[in-house]
Amino acid sequence: MTYCVGLRLRKGLVFMSDTRTNAGVDDIAQVCKMTSWEVPGERVFTVLSAGNLATTQTVISLIDERTKAPEERNPSILEAPSMFQAATIIGDLLREVVKSADPSGQSAGSTFGATLIFGGQIKGSSPRLFLIYPEGNFIEAGDDNPFFQAGETKYGRPILVRAWDDEMSFESAIKLLCVSFDSTIRANAGVDMPLDLQILKADDFRVSQSRRMERDDPYFREISQSWSDALGVALGGLPEFEF
Amino acid sequence: MTYCVGLRLRKGLVFMSDTRTNAGVDDIAQVCKMTSWEVPGERVFTVLSAGNLATTQTVISLIDERTKAPEERNPSILEAPSMFQAATIIGDLLREVVKSADPSGQSAGSTFGATLIFGGQIKGSSPRLFLIYPEGNFIEAGDDNPFFQAGETKYGRPILVRAWDDEMSFESAIKLLCVSFDSTIRANAGVDMPLDLQILKADDFRVSQSRRMERDDPYFREISQSWSDALGVALGGLPEFEF
């Protein structure tokens, strides 16, 4: 399993992903699911990946190769004129990779399927955030759906739905994501520390901040421990039921 | 979909279930998923059901018929010497019903599968709570797993895991369940109001309290509205992340 979130704020984009991959509970490993490409001052992209690891690594490698060999005919996201075009390139790559492993059933239900969260900014337009499906098509975050989750999305969703705010600071967004990830990690053994974290500030056109939170990260541990107490207080403050 | 929870407290058992049933999002209806049997002063049982509605209604009807025709050979839960025996009777019934609809694949993955939360008390022993699988086998709640959920379990789980407390009052438990159900209802259109709610106080040997919360229930609406604010305050009180 996996848990990845991309958040769209007025100030920019925030990404967080776990690092556990598994082929059965008896076969777990650690892998980074967050990859970025930048042309400093001009464009920046980040991809979070969930699903079949062979598929996602192949897609990332293909994107990577294309960015390094611009003379070839294949379109590179570093030359795409817009975020939409870049998302289309990545979606097409994803579809091809899934299809090559599983010619019959290229779909969300396929063993070889994967879902990508793709965000970034190209000079001249705003930061944009997309969710790319295994079929290669995608949707974009907007005011009504300001974030995307991939992988084990359910445990960590209620707090995002309730507490997300367009105007929040990057620091508050990271706090919110830590709570969401902690709820998920507690419930699903297929999601685990360390966590990768990244900020793309609007109009920064580079990875503004990048951090790995290790298993013993003091901030994450404090959030994890304090949140149960804070919830207890919050619950205590709600009106009591009466028969 | 469905969302049902059975909670084991030191003071007794608490049950809550939603009432939405659907065969596709374009075919929804309302149905009660909570059924009780009692021999006042001697024993009380409650079943919450999730899964194929034809299966669960048949199981409930069969349990019901047996309780009304005790002279027949079939074992009735009203005559079972223990909660374990009663759970076995219900598990056997469930297995038979699932099997009769789907002789090939009687399993959790079957279209005709269903999961039951079964709790109650028989004079001479403590209240006990079970989760009965479509295969007819079951597990019992204990100190380490003090509650069972069935149906859409994930959205509402983190708050239960963090805030459940063995010693909590029935009123606080209902408040906790309202928060858990509200998170689930907001996220899954297959779970909806009204909610059925029931208390089996230890050594009461009857349904101690029973209530339906309608869509416009003022208490539930207050919890739903206040909880977002309370979470905001709780989040605000946690230490801020610093780069």
Consecutive 10-residue averages of pLDDT for chain A (243 residues): 96 98 91 97 98 96 88 86 97 95 69 95 97 96 96 95 93 97 95 97 98 97 94 93 92
B189 touches A at CB < 8 Å: no
Q: Which residue in chain A has the smallest CA separation from B168?
A: A236
- What angle (nearest 5°) sits at the alpha carbon of residue A166, between those of residues A160 and A172? 60
Per-residue pLDDT for B73 more than 60? yes
Nearest to B227 among A154, A156, A238 (CB): A238
A152 contacts A190 by C-beta, under 8 angstroms: yes
Nearest-CA distance from B101 to chain A in Å? 26
Task: State residue A20 phi and psi, 5-degree precision.
Answer: -95, 135
Please give the ipTM for the structure prediction.
Answer: 0.88
Per-residue pLDDT for B106 more than 80? no
Helix (H, G, I), strand (E, B) or coil at B67: helix
Q: How far apart, in whole angstroms, are the C-alpha atoms of residue A233 and residue B161?
A: 15
Looking at every residue in chain B, the average pLDDT score rounds to 94
Q: How far apart, in whole angstroms, are the C-alpha atoms of residue A93 and residue A59?
A: 6
Q: How far apart, in whole angstroms, are the C-alpha atoms of residue B22 and residue B215?
A: 18
Q: How far apart, in whole angstroms, are the C-alpha atoms of residue B154 and residue B141?
A: 18
In sequence order, what are the beta bridge partners of A149? A5
- Cβ contact B233–A228 (<8 Å): no
- Cβ contact A179–B222 (<8 Å): no
Tell the burial category of A192 from Cβ atoms under 10 Å away from its Cβ (0-12, 13-18, 19+): buried
Interface A-B, measured as beta-carbon pairs within 8 A, has a size of 120
- Cβ contact A222–B231 (<8 Å): no
pLDDT band at B238; cut points 50, 70, 90: very high
Distances (CA, A) of B229 to A128, A237, B222: 29, 11, 11
Helix (H, G, I), strand (E, B) or coil at B102: coil
Nearest-CA distance from B167 to chain A in Å? 14
pLDDT at B109: 66
What domains does chain B contain, in order, with CATH numbers? 3-235 (3.60.20.10)
Please name the residues between 108 and 167 in chain A that touch chain B, using a CB distance below 8 Å: 154-159, 161-163
Mean per-residue pLDDT, B114-123: 98
pLDDT at B188: 94
Residue numbers in A near B233 (CB within 8 A): 234
B150 contacts B122 by C-beta, under 8 angstroms: no
The DSSP code sequence of B124-162 is TS--EEEEE-TTS-EEE--SSS-EEEEES-STTHHHHHH
pLDDT at B104: 74
Helix (H, G, I), strand (E, B) or coil at A37: strand
Q: What percent of chain B has pLDDT over 70?
A: 98
Question: Which letter does DSSP use for residue A199 in this model?
Answer: E
Q: How far apart, in whole angstroms, are the C-alpha atoms of residue A155 and residue B152?
A: 11
| Helix residue spans in chain A (DSSP H) | 53-68, 83-101, 157-163, 170-187, 218-237
CA torsion A105-A109-A112-A117 (nearest 10°) is: 120
pLDDT at A51: 95
- Cβ contact A231–B163 (<8 Å): yes
Q: Which residue has the tokens 């839960």?
A: B77
Q: How far apart, in whole angstroms, are the C-alpha atoms of residue A167 and residue A172?
A: 10
A187 touches B at CB < 8 Å: yes
Per-residue pLDDT for B86 more than 60? yes
Per-residue pLDDT for B32 more than 90? yes
Nearest-CA distance from B228 to chain A in Å? 6
pLDDT band at B204; cut points 50, 70, 90: very high
Full-model pTM: 0.92
B90 contacts B59 by C-beta, under 8 angstroms: yes
Helix (H, G, I), strand (E, B) or coil at B32: coil
Distances (CA, A) of A152 to A164, A187, B125, B149: 19, 10, 40, 18
Task: State residue B66 phi and psi, 5-degree precision.
Answer: -65, -35
